[in-house]
Structures are given as structure tokens and as C-alpha cells.
Amino acid sequence: MFTSSQEWSDPNKALHYLSRVSTYSNRIPGEQVLLQSIPDTTKRILDLGSGDGRMIKLIKEYFKGRSDIEFTALDISPPMLQALESYFKNDQSVKIIKHDLDDPLPDLGYFDTVISSFAIHHLRHKRKFELYEEIYELLNPLGIFCNLDHVVSVSTRNHIKFFDLMGEPLSREEKSDKTLSVERQLQMFRDIGYIEVDCLWKWYEIALLVGYKN
């Protein structure tokens, strides 16, 4: 079976993504809502599928002046890990761990905030549910999980329109995509025990899903 770790281990695939990600301006409003959702009391943040650390950089800028926030960044792609290590090599607040999200999360301690950005949609639906359970278990009381990710479009027309607006041909659709609807994922959250579950932002096939520990 073709896996996301195999796909993202391809340097050409990873480099193409890194060269294009900053041009995807339509994701920026969702990122802003994610930043606004992080509690001011947060001191430990886990970033699942960190890529080159884009979200960690944005969080650091958003909480400028806060030196007490610790970050743990997980990724499996060698090119992404190299980018993370290069950028944060002198930053003691960022711990980088090589990990495949297809596997159970390692023992990482507890976190006030867990985030993920455009990573979990690569997982099988069963594994998504398992990961959401694992995230719930490692959240501190009042902790929040924020997942900014690709979701299923409501129609083929909107799917084609989404790729057109993103400036990408359909031929570049990722082989490992296993997108799921907003409604089904929010129900997963509720079934696990998350509260105040919501979709705080959505644009075509990009959505920000959140849930609190309690």
C-alpha cells in the first residue's frame, strides 16, 4: 500500500510543496483563526506533521515576547526534518522528533495545545480516529486540539474549482489523500469526548476543526 511517508520522503515532492506553500494565500485566514484559538495560558504545544515548521514560526510571531512556550514538532519526511532542524537548530524551545503518524504517538508528556496543519488527511480513516483518541489522552485539562486540514468537497464541481483557485492542476492531487468530511470528523471528536467541537473556518476543501479536552 502506498503511504504518505513514502510520498513525502520524495525530495522532489517535498521541495515542490515548500516552494509553493507560502503562495497559498487562501489558507492564511484559517491559520489566523487557529492562532486566535490557542489559549493565552498555553505553555506546551505539539505540532503533528510539522513540515518545515511554518505553524511554529507563526505561533512564535503571534506570541512574540513569550519565551516560556515549549514546542514539540513531529514529522516523518527527511526533507521536512532537515528544514526543521536547519531553521530551529539554535532554538532550545523546539524539540524535533522523527515520527510517522501512521504509528501510535510516542510518550511525549502532556500538552496545553495540539495542532496539525495539512497532515492528518493522509491517514486512513480508522487511524484518524485512533490519532484523535491519542491526542485527547495527552491534552491537559482545558487543552485544545486544532486541526487545519483538507476535507472532502461537497461536489466534483467544487473539487475542480478548489484546485483551480489554488493554481494547481488536478494531476498534482496527492496519491495518499484520504480526505473525510467535516461532519464525520466532528462526530469523531464528539464520540471520543471532546467538547465545544466546531468547525471555526472553512474555505472549499480546507477547514479548521477544534475540540477541547473539557
Query: CA distances (Å), 77 to each of 4, 13, 28, in order?
Result: 9, 10, 23
C-alpha–C-alpha distance, residues 9 and 76, integer Å: 8
- In whole angstroms, give the CA distance from residue 163 to residue 173: 9
Element (H, E) at 114: strand 111-117
Kindly list the structural domains of the chain, giving each domain's residue range(s) and its CATH number in brackets, ordered by start. 4-212 (3.40.50.150)
Amino acid making up residue 131 = L
Tens-level pLDDT at each residue, the chain (214 residues): 444 555 656 666 555 555 566 567 899 999 999 999 999 999 999 999 999 999 999 999 999 989 999 999 999 999 999 999 999 999 999 999 999 999 999 999 999 999 999 999 999 999 999 999 999 999 999 999 999 999 999 999 999 999 999 888 888 787 778 999 999 999 999 999 999 999 999 999 999 999 999 8
Q: Which secondary-structure segment (H or E) carries 137?
A: helix 125-138
Residue 175 vs residues 8, 16, 179, 194: alpha-carbon distances, Å: 11, 15, 11, 31
User: Shortest CA distance to 4 belongs to which of 138, 131, 177, 136?
Assistant: 177
Cα separation, 82 vs 21, whole angstroms: 17
Q: Residue 113's beta-bridge partner residues?
A: 45, 144
pTM over 0.75? The answer is yes
Angle between helices 182-192 and 125-138 (to 10 degrees): 40
